[in-house]
Amino acid sequence: SPEIFPRDSSLKDKFIKHFTGPVTFSSECSKHFHRLYHNTRDCSTPAYYKRCARLLTRLAMSPLCTQS
């Protein structure tokens, strides 16, 4: 099926950062971040970017990511 939206990753980054704010991930956590960010429907479909931002924010606040 053809995509309606161009896959512009910088646009995606800007959009998601707008909803998450400045979120940083520890090295243990970045693996999970990349898996979510690159492999989930929510993070690859512009219509779902808000849901993607919510997932990433939840990941950043999870015990896995908050331990130093």
The 10s digit of each residue's pLDDT in 5-41 is 555 667 778 877 877 777 777 787 888 888 998 999 9
pLDDT at 20: 74
Q: Residue 67: which pLDDT band, with cuts at 50, 70 and 90?
A: confident
pLDDT computed for residue 29 by the predictor:
85
In this structure, the chain runs to a length of: 68
Q: State how far the Cα of 33 lies from the Cα of 60, in Å rounded to an integer.
A: 8
Report pLDDT for 2. 46
Closest by Cα among 21, 67, 22, 57 to 37 = 57
pLDDT of residue 51: 94
